[in-house]
Structure 1
Amino acid sequence: MPIIWLVLIVAAIAGAGYVAGRARAMRSVEGDHRKLHSLPSYYGWNVALKAIVPAFILAVAWLLIQPLVVSSSVSGMLPEGAIPENSSRGLIMAEVRRAADGLDMAVETGSISPEDARSDAAEAAEISQVLKDSGAVVTSELTEPILRAAQRYRALNATGHLLMTGLVILLSVIGALWGIRESRGDFRARNTVENGLRSLLIGAASIAILTTLGIVLSLVFNTIEFFRLYPAADFFFGTEWAPSFSGRGGSSELGVLPLLWGTFYVSIVALAVAVPIGLFAAIYLSEYASKRVRSVAKPLLEVLAGIPTIVYGLFALLTVGPLLLEIFGKDGLGWMQAGTAVMTAGLVMGIMLIPFVSSLSDDIINAVPQAMRDGSYGLGATQSETIRQVVLPAALPGIVGAILLAASRAIGETMIVVLGAGAAARLSLNPFEAMTTVTAKIVSQLTGDADFASPEALVAFALGMTLFVITLGLNVLALFIVRKYREQYE
């Protein structure tokens, strides 16, 4: 049963429980709601929460634990001979899961019948072709052990989902009956509901932490798999990026230094454009502009933040690149060979980052107490002196945060770099040469028929982990700077 139907069934049980619980509470006091401890709606919500929350917790826990149990069970049936020399059992299980998903897709599209998908007589080569024809992601020709493991994986998943559906519905019904049984006039329904809602709010606040933890763990595990296949020293200190997809364990050079240099170089150029323009725009809007000008200029400036990055990429490719080539190319100064270069991507990315810097800085400058400005004017300072010596120092922690936010946005940008900076991984100081970044290479390594049993595909996770550590370091540095300067004004 699809999850959406399970959600609708539980919601229907909760709705029926709400009506029944409210009605039973009213009957217990013979229709006189003044004899109830709580408002009648609280009794209904008590039943609804007891029908939804336990069932939801069971479903989430089941969906998190079932893949681990199924993978562990299926992994045990893989013979050692099915694991290539340069791979591992975990990587082969990734292929098994993709093959199982491909079989599901093929069954849904009608490319293969459900009976043939689970038949032991199905041949691996034939199934591989069927999966490729149906658009499923298959990294290579399926082997017999991987196909049988994928069929077993599908069977266990189907059984687990069926069992989960029955247990979730049963638990929802039991919770609703329990809540209806509690619906009496002296029951403290309001206290129970409010405590339950408080727990739900705590759970909602915890989702961000758990999501971050899940992202980090997924990166860590795949990064560990990568370093089992490729030396960590060659990755962190290598100066050449030349992946080879000719086969597993091929002669690939996967040094990250050229990618990191390209990432920082493009980001520095972008910040050199965005920070001065954005900060000066924020100072003008908050300190000099009239209300009429501000009401028009600020929304127009923030429109830049809503433009898709692919549009900025096209702008870099079709407008900024040719313009720079005309000025700095062979017909001009002779510094630039093509329209794709660090300068092209940096200028366009800087334009994209202007609203991030200006809008946040404007709000931060406006938050500086007017009393500080009045005190400066009272001592005889001019408006420009007040801005330089009072307003900006007071707003500095927030401005640093805005700049660091823009830096993180620049480091994580992909489309502008792909279209504006090119795809060359090199160590060079020339801003008019083509370079690439970490994010652009993450996309290219995972595009197409990526073989997740090879270091050429797994390197994307190592790149992602490296980028995560860098941005985390930037945030820690920003926090240190903010705390150091904030002490002067508290």
Structure 2
Amino acid sequence: MTLAVGLILVLLVAATAFVLARGRAAALRSAGPGRQRLNSLPFYHGAFAFLWAAVPALLFLAAWTPIQQALIEQSVLASTAGQQLPDFDLARDSILEEARNVASGAAELAFNPAAQALVPEYQAASGRYSLIGSGFALLLALAGAGWALSRVGLNLRARAGVEKWLMGVLVAASLIAILTTFGIVLSLLFETMRFFSMVPASDFLFGTSWSPQVAIRADQAGSSGAFGSVPLFWGTVFIGAIIAMIVAIPLGLMSAIFLTQYAPGKLRSVLKPLLEILAGVPTVVYGYFAALTVAPLMRDLGLAIGITSASSESALAAGLVMGVMIIPFVSSMADDSIAAVPQAMRDGSLALGATRSETIRKVILPAALPGVVGGVLLAVSRAIGETMIVVMAAGLAANLTANPFDSVTTVTTQIVQLLTGDQEFDSPKTLAAFALGLVLFLVTLFLNLIALRVVRKYREAYE
């Protein structure tokens, strides 16, 4: 018996408990000289039994799965074939992984004889512990179903019990999200501390030279890498927060104004979905467009105006395409904020003699400003985390320059470069990616907090 079979049996028991509990509650309501009044509807009695039968057993299966893997590996290592494995961790783990794949059906045959000898041990241990886990989960399901069925009666507050279960599920989902965030932060923080034990934090935060290539031998050229992150963060700000915003804010805001104030209803129903399609285009497609179309045009433009250093990979090309990509973020937030302004304010301004453009500039936009600012800050957060467009259109050179026709790079691009391929997680070159990720995470979090604070502080409640 596998855990999948155990899961199916648990769900069957829970479904049976649902049918029996609902039928018993319906029978109680119809029994007697008149219709007896149940505290909860029969459906809630069935749901109450289903949850008590399913949830504890499913939680046990979720907890048992990693425990089972550890027990299986321990049983395999304790076998005669397992005791003959090499002491070297990497070689032993490789053999165990190969045997595990063959035993699970992911591979047909093990090339290593030692791995092939472990396949029967894996199959036997897997079957044994799967049977134990599935059996215990089935017992839990039967016990929960039996207890819930014994509680079915006229006075059972089944609806309140179901709502408590659902509240627990919602709280658990919230905790998972929070704990995942904490796990991300702690993993970044731990590796960043290891990096700062090798490279001074001041050199990383304030250095202006980025060359993370660290030699394997001390006598090799370039053995002391440079980890100054200022060029990377400047490239991120230059592309994502300056060039992209110069494109996205005017176009997004003017699009929102046109769609909400000038466009007829039929035209708006067509243009708004077309505009929001931009948000669904994969970033790699934007990257192709930037590399094959926009970048050559920007290079030719730079050469035409006398900039001889104009590169085919430039900050301007990446920023322009990135700005087009985040137009829907600005436009949608501005659209919703402008639409939320009461019609009475528009009518009052027009009644006092203001033109439509004056009403937009002096009444509607000030009233919608919190939503517009919040959308802009969220768009900036989205832009500074973009990778593919920068990789394909801006290049990989860590240049500290204000020339938009030069090649620059960003934090996310360097993280991809540092973690691509087989890496040793004991070198400052690889650990630098975690330091970059932590700083970028803090910057994005700060921008999101500012956006939320602006929206909450200046939000107006209209009736």
TM-score range, shorter chain: 0.7 to 0.9
Residue 199 (str. 1) matches residue 168 (str. 2) = yes
Q: Which residue of 1 aligns with 2:251?
A: 277
Instruction: Describe the shift of the 1:29–1:474 C-alpha distance in structure 2 as closer, same or farther (beyond 3 A).
Output: closer
* Letter paired with 1:348: V
Distance 2:431 2:128 in 1: 31
Superposed CA RMSD:
3.7
Query: 1:445, 1:457 within 8 Å by CA — same for their partners in 2?
Result: yes
Distance 1:70 1:232 in 2: 44
Listed one character per residue, the Cα deviations across residues 345-388 of structure 1 (whole Å, up to 9, x for unaligned) are 00110111111111221121011111111221222222111111
Distance 2:111 2:24 in 1: 51
Q: Which residue of 1 aligns with 2:340?
A: 367
Deviation at 1:253, TM superposition (A): 2.4
Instruction: Describe the shift of the 1:25–1:477 C-alpha distance in structure 2 as closer, same or farther (beyond 3 A).
Output: closer
Residue 460 (str. 1) matches residue 460 (str. 2) = no
Distance 2:361 2:385 in 1: 32
Q: Which residue of 2 aligns with 1:418?
A: 391
Distance 1:289 1:230 in 2: 57
Which shows bigger deviation, 431-440 or 293-302?
293-302
Q: Which residue of 1 aligns with 2:78?
A: none
Deviation at 1:166, TM superposition (A): 4.4
TM-score between both structures, scaled by the size of structure 2 = 0.82
Query: 1:325, 1:336 within 8 Å by CA — same for their partners in 2?
Result: no
Which residue, out of 287, 299, 318, partners 1:313?
287
Report the secondary structure of 1:34's partner residue: coil
Deviation at 1:403, TM superposition (A): 0.3
Distance 2:332 2:4 in 1: 40
Query: 1:248, 1:453 within 8 Å by CA — same for their partners in 2?
Result: no
The unaligned stretches of length 5 or more in structure 1 are 72-81, 84-91, 121-150
Listed one character per residue, the Cα deviations across residues 407-448 of structure 1 (whole Å, up to 9, x for unaligned) are 011011010000010111121111111111111111122211
- Pairing of 1:423-462 with structure 2 (within 5 A): 423-462=396-435
* Letter paired with 1:46: F
Q: Which residue of 2 aligns with 1:242?
A: 211
Listed one character per residue, the Cα deviations across residues 119-154 of structure 1 (whole Å, up to 9, x for unaligned) are 79xxxxxxxxxxxxxxxxxxxxxxxxxxxxxx99x9
Query: 1:394, 1:489 within 8 Å by CA — same for their partners in 2?
Result: no
Q: Which residue of 2 aligns with 1:181?
A: 150
* Letter paired with 2:164: N
Q: Which residue of 1 aligns with 2:22?
A: 22
Which shows bigger deviation, 186-195 or 255-264?
186-195
Listed one character per residue, the Cα deviations across residues 206-242 of structure 1 (whole Å, up to 9, x for unaligned) are 4332332232223223323333343323322222222
Deviation at 1:332, TM superposition (A): 5.3
Query: 1:277, 1:354 within 8 Å by CA — same for their partners in 2?
Result: yes
Instruction: Describe the shift of the 1:294–1:414 C-alpha distance in structure 2 as closer, same or farther (beyond 3 A).
Output: same
Q: Which residue of 2 aligns with 1:112?
A: 110
Residue 481 (str. 1) matches residue 454 (str. 2) = yes
Deviation at 1:192, TM superposition (A): 1.7
Deviation at 1:334, TM superposition (A): 3.0
TM-score between both structures, scaled by the size of structure 1 = 0.78
Instruction: Describe the shift of the 1:105–1:453 C-alpha distance in structure 2 as closer, same or farther (beyond 3 A).
Output: farther
Residue 349 (str. 1) matches residue 319 (str. 2) = no
Distance 1:159 1:265 in 2: 59
Distance 2:94 2:435 in 1: 21
Aligned-residue sequence identity (percent) comes to 48
Q: Which residue of 2 aligns with 1:383?
A: 356
Q: Which residue of 1 aligns with 2:199?
A: 230
Instruction: Describe the shift of the 1:228–1:481 C-alpha distance in structure 2 as closer, same or farther (beyond 3 A).
Output: same
Distance 2:3 2:214 in 1: 38
Query: 1:442, 1:460 within 8 Å by CA — same for their partners in 2?
Result: yes
Report the secondary structure of 1:262's partner residue: helix
* Letter paired with 1:428: T
Which shows bigger deviation, 251-260 or 432-441?
251-260
Query: 1:397, 1:485 within 8 Å by CA — same for their partners in 2?
Result: yes
Deviation at 1:244, TM superposition (A): 2.5
